[in-house]
Structure 1
């Protein structure tokens, strides 16, 4: 099982838990983070060593990426596992899938690369190397079926962890003390680029609303002290929550959210948001040339329209963030419409069970492979006897 990002680690941990629940004797090894380790996955590599986004950002991690790739390839060649499960992390995992395919190891790809958004030609590589896709967005299933690739829509794993009732649109949140969520991402580079500007936006908002408070859920994948070091540079009081993103979002009336899976977490909790993102200038220029979708926020892609405003690169300034939050707090009609549309997004994501459905696919694939291996061994034994 191979996951290279914090979100992949979380989804991988739930999948590992389901596999071990259904088949306790199954041994799982691979690359991941603390969540996967807690579910009994034996980590050959920590995903914190290779988590990165953006073109220039990748260059700084090349030695670690090469080491991780070589470690996993060596493991595949020596141990020949019954199945490899690749979770998101497309550039790395698509390369690794080639090695697995050449060795005859079945490949289950869970959480599709966003090839529908950019570099659509990668679907040919997937067709050659991947045995089965387990996709989490409704429109992805048809995309792969048209290419003749075996695919199952399993639903979004984010719904497996959704533990709280959603706030209804008609609730009058103005009666409560307003709380703003700051969600700067799960990667070191993201936090360093986004959190300082989020904190400046918080300063602007706190001058406008005296009773405003702020919460920040800290991702497990971040090194200890990173968030605190950023907070020491501001006078803004922020409650850091280390018990999980949903515990933070239950308190929020609105949020400033780094583009990524966290936008869906925020959506299913019916919290109106502004989506922000920044990468290096070179990464941004390259991205503009190759990305072919109208939005970058997952919540907007699932909705098929702009449910949450997006502030990307130079637009992701403190003043712009603050302005969008003011609108979400003060424009009652906008707020109500946004919450209703977030409810529609939640419905599109399904009702849960993605992890268990994917575990069933994985175990079925392992069973098929075990039969093939068993037949191969029987044939070899007969051949040896005839000699």
Structure 2
């Protein structure tokens, strides 16, 4: 049983499933996931789109679906237990599910750690009791778990396997017909509907401001598979800015960009691996932000800055996220000079700290090892 409740987990889950199948093609998979896991051969019992939430308000509206999913998987763990449960991130649901697995003697390999080092650190006690092994993807997580008595393996970041390593900016620019454009801005407002509403209007207005300084500016907007195209188009139609929906992959799109405006999350790590200068943005409902501000125990919101141990990229959060402020930060980076060069250099350092490729293969070997012990 494999459980991926979000778009990024669907990607990592699909790569893990393929890696396990390469080691043992006879193993079957079922659980929660999206299109990519389904294509990898997972029988999807509940679509990940039913589970994906951002902020407390969206949790409230999706609570009935989440509760139903919990009951469904709990009954399966009890009445038709799998040989192994592999939860991927999605802590609110998956830590609870691991408790059911423990009760019914199903071993648990937790892939991609919940960010317990950042907030709600008390959850580590539940993880230690319910999870047999952790496969973590950030370098500092291994020591964190080991010091707290959890059997842990650092496997490296799975995005290093997914992102092509030798993309060429000039080539991508030519392929997209952007030879006469400068600057090219990537707009990545998020992978959930609520994030689009919170971030995209501010990004569009910032691009409008920047266009007065850069008449040849072009904006590219790759759409996450979880987002309806019509939703994005409804915002773009209200603006005269040169922003188009990118038909290329997110990695090809980012490679062509001089700067990216990126919602906090997995996309910031993808952008860092590609070495593209960026500005992190984040806005949530008032109550979500109020609660988060009081429970977060880390100096930065973005994983890029956390891995670096310093502020490498600007973070515009909540009330600081305004069109004027975003345009100002963008101008400082686009004007070149030492600030831009320093950012590119430190993004390279972040990529090195994320480790080498092979996360899916290493995690697959752990899964096979645990299955052989059953």
TM-score range, shorter chain: over 0.9
**1:197 maps onto 2:198 in alignment:** no
Match 2:244 to one of 239, 242, 246 = 239
**1:362 has 2:367 as partner:** yes
| Structure-2 residue corresponding to 1:47 | 48
Asked whether 1:25 is paired with 2:30, we answer no
- Map of 1:383 onto structure 2: none
Shift of 1:224: 4.3
- 1:309-333 deviations in Å (ceiling 9; x for gaps): 0000111111111111111110311
TM-score (norm 2): 0.94
Report deviation, 1:175.
9.8
**Runs of 4+ that moved beyond 4 A:** none
Q: Which aligned pairs between 1:329-340 and structure 2 lie closer than 5 A?
A: 329-340=334-345
User: Contact 1:219–1:242 at 8 Å: present in 2 too?
Assistant: no
Distance across 2 between alignment mates of 1:206 and 1:255: 15
Q: In structure 2, what is the Cα distance between the partners aligned to 1:115 and 1:2?
A: 19
CA RMSD between the two structures: 1.6
Residue 136 in structure 1 maps to residue 141 in structure 2: no
What is the CA–CA distance in structure 2 between the aligned matches of 1:355 and 1:206, rounded to whole Å? 42
State how far apart, in whole Å, the 1-side matches of 2:228 and 2:99 are. Answer: 32
1:74 aligns with 2:79: no
Deviations 1:257-312 (A, max 9, x none): 00001101000111111100011100111111110100000111111110000000
Q: For 1:1-387, what aligned pairs fall within 5 Å after superposition?
A: 1-165=2-166, 177-369=182-374
Aligned residues: 364
Partner of 1:376 in structure 2? Answer: none
**How far apart are the structure 2 equivalents of 1:177 and 1:285?**
38
The question of whether the paired residues in 2 share the 8 Å contact of 1:29 and 1:41 is answered with: yes
How far apart in 2 are the matches of 1:144 and 1:66?
29
Q: Which runs of 5+ in 1 are unaligned?
A: 169-173, 370-387
Q: Matched residues in 2 for 1:239 and 1:18: separation? A: 36
Measure, in 2, the Cα distance between the counterparts of 1:62 and 1:161. 32
Give the distance between the partners of 1:176 and 1:206, measured in 2 at CA: 11
Question: Once the two structures are superposed, what CA deviation does each residue of 1:340-372 show, in whole Å capped at 9, x if it has no partner?
Answer: 000000101112100110011111111111xxx
Query: How far apart, in 1, do the equivalents of 2:347 and 2:168 lie?
Result: 11
Give the distance between the partners of 1:178 and 1:60, measured in 2 at CA: 40
CA distance in 1, matches of 2:142, 2:295: 23
Q: Secondary structure at the match of 1:139?
A: helix
| Offset at residue 243 of structure 1 (A) | 4.0
CA pair 243-11 structure 1, distance change in 2 beyond 3 A: farther
Deviation track 1:13-38 (CA, whole Å, cap 9, x = no partner) reads: 11111111221111110101111111
Partners of 1:66 and 1:9 in 2: how far apart? Answer: 20
Whether the aligned pair in 2 keeps the contact of 1:132 and 1:149 (CA below 8 Å) is: yes
Task: Give 1:375's aligned residue.
Answer: none
Question: Which of structures 1 and 2 has the bigger CA Rg?
Answer: 1
CA distance in 2, matches of 1:72, 1:319: 47
Measured after TM superposition, the shift of residue 242 of structure 1 is 4.4
TM-score, normalising length from structure 1?
A: 0.91
Instruction: Tell me how far apart the structure 1 counterparts of residues 325 and 119 of structure 2 sit (CA, whole Å).
Output: 28
Q: Distance in 1 between matches of 2:366 and 2:248?
A: 31
Matched residues in 2 for 1:95 and 1:191: separation? 29
Distance 1:304 1:167 in 2: 29
Kindly state the Cα deviation for residue 166 of structure 1 after the two structures are TM-superposed: 6.7
Contact preservation (8 Å) 2:217, 2:242:
no
CA contact (8 A) 2:137 2:157 kept: yes
What SS is found at the alignment partner of 1:225?
helix
